[in-house]
Amino acid sequence: MAGDGVEIVHLSSIVRRPLVDATGDRLGRVRDVVASFADKPHPPLVGLVVTMGGRDLFVPIRKVAGFEARTVRFAGRRVDLRRFERRPGELLLARDLSTHHLINFVGGHLIRANEIELANVGGTWEVVGVDPSARPVWRHLLPRRHGRQAVPGSIVDWASIEPFVANVPTARLRIPYRKLKRLHPALIADLVEAASHEEGKEIIDAVRHDRELEADVFEELDVEHQVEFLNARSDGEAARLLASMAPDDAADLIIAVDQERRLPILDLLPEAQQRKVRSLLNYNPETAGGLMSPDFLALPVSAPIGEVLGAVAESRAPVEALNVAFGVDEEGVVVGSVSIVRLLKEDPRALLGSVIDHDPPHVHPDWDLGAIARKMSDFNLIVVPVLDPAHRSILGVVTVDDVLEQMLPTGWRGDYGPMSPED
C-alpha cells in the first residue's frame, strides 16, 4: 500500500465530477471508475465510465491527464462514442464496491467501503485501500475540499481485502478459496453470519469443494444459518454435507430441518455415519446423550503406550476428544483414563494399564447440562466419558467446548461481535 505521506485520491472526489478537455470545456460527467481485478494485490484502473449526451462511454485511463480539485482532465483528442461494456474481471468501484461489504482477511471480518482510495504508483493508477471509518460520511456532509490527502491511519490495505461479487455476474470473480482456508472455520462462520444471504452463500460456495472445511464451517454456524443454507440444497447434497460433519453436530442439524426432510436425508447418509446419528437422536439434545460425540479413543489396558500414541495419530475422532485415552479390559469394560500429555512423558514400552487413573469421573446419558458442567468443573476435565447405567461401556464423550457453547446465551456471537485472532 502507498506509504505515509503519499498523496491519494478519494473515489468520491472523482465520481460525478465533470470531464473537461485541455481548454477547460466540459465533455461529460464521470459516472464510475473501472478497475481490473485479475488477482493483483492492488488492482490497476483501466478507465472511467463517462456520461455524455445520455450515453455511458468508456475513457481509457491513459487518456486521463489527471484528477484535479473540481474536474477530471481529458488528455486525448477525441472520445470513443461506443457504449461502455464491462469486460470479465472488471468492477465498477462506485457501483459494485462503494458502501458495500468487503472481507478483510487480516482478522477475518467484514468492513464497509465508505471510501475507496486510489494512488498513482510508478505511473500506474491503482486501488490501494479502503476507508471503513465514518470519516468519509462526514466529508460528504461538509463543504468539499481538494480530493487529495495523506493516507489516513484508518485505511485498510487493499492487498488484504476481497470484494463480494455475487451481484456482479459479469465480473466472473469468486472469493478465493486459498485465502479463506487460512482462516479458522469459526472466523469463516462469523463472516457468513455477519453477511447478507447472497454474500454468505458466496463464502460457502468458495469452500464447498473442500468437504472437510465446509463441514467445519457448518458446525460453527448458528442453527438459523445452517438451516438457511441447507434448505437450498437437495436431499443428496444435504446428506453429503452431513456425512462430513461430526455425528453430534449432524444429529443437531437433522433435528433442525423440516420434519418431512429428516428421514430422506438420514437414509442417504453412509451406513457408519447413519448409525451414529440415529443413536444420538434417541437422546434429548440438552442431555449428555445428546451432547456427546460417539467418536473417542479406547484401547486395551494391555496395549503399549507407544501403540496408544500411534492410534492417536491415526484416529479420525475430533481433536478435542483425543485429549484423553481410555483403557478397557478384555471384555471391553472401561477401566480408566489418562491424558495424552501424560502418555507422552511415559516410557513408550510401558503398558497403558500401568498409567491410567482407575474409575474415572464420568456422567450418564440422562444428565442435564448443569450436572455435566458441575462434574467437569469439580474434576478440572476437558473431556468426560458418558457411561451406560451399568458403568461398563463408554457411550461417548462430552468435551468442554460443547458445554461452553450450550451455556452461552442465544445470539452471543452478535452480542460480542466477530472474533479476531488478536482478541
**Domain 176-283 indexed as CATH 1.25.60.10:** yes
CA neighbours closer than 13 Å in the CB half-sphere of residue 21: 8
Give the pLDDT score at 150: 42
Print pLDDT tens along the chain (423 aa): 445 445 689 999 999 999 999 888 999 999 999 999 877 789 999 999 999 988 999 999 999 998 988 899 998 778 888 889 988 888 999 998 888 889 999 888 999 999 999 999 888 999 999 999 876 554 544 444 444 444 445 789 999 988 887 666 666 677 888 989 999 999 999 999 999 998 999 999 999 999 999 999 999 999 999 999 999 999 999 999 999 999 999 999 999 999 999 999 999 999 999 999 999 999 998 899 999 999 999 999 999 999 999 999 999 888 899 999 999 999 889 999 999 999 999 999 999 999 999 988 999 999 999 999 999 999 999 999 999 998 889 999 999 988 988 887 665 555 555 554 444
Give the pLDDT score at 151: 44
Give the pLDDT score at 172: 63
Give the pLDDT score at 98: 86
| Superfamily in which the 7-163 domain is placed by CATH | PRC-barrel domain (2.30.30.240)
Task: Decide if 7-163 and 176-283 have a common fold.
Answer: no
Domain boundaries, the chain: 7-163, 176-283, 298-406
Long-range contacts of 224-230 (CB under 8 A, 24+ apart): 225/189, 225/192, 225/193, 225/200, 226/253, 226/256, 227/253, 227/256, 227/257, 228/197, 228/200, 229/200, 229/201, 229/204, 230/257
Q: For residue 136, give the C-alpha cell.
A: 468519509
Beta-carbon contacts of residue 315 (< 8 Å; ≥ 6 apart): 295, 297, 322
- Residue 234: count other Cβ atoms within 10 Å of its Cβ: 11
CATH no. of 298-406: 3.10.580.10
Residue pLDDT, tens place only, 267-307: 999 999 999 999 999 999 889 999 999 999 999 999 999 99
Q: Of all residues in the chain, what percent carry a pLDDT higher than 70?
A: 88
Alpha carbons 267 and 276: distance in angstroms, whole number: 13
Q: pTM to 2 decimals? A: 0.80
Handedness of CA 231, 236, 239, 243 (dihedral sign): negative
Give the pLDDT score at 361: 93
Alpha carbons 340 and 328: distance in angstroms, whole number: 16
Q: Of all residues in the chain, what percent carry a pLDDT higher than 90?
A: 67
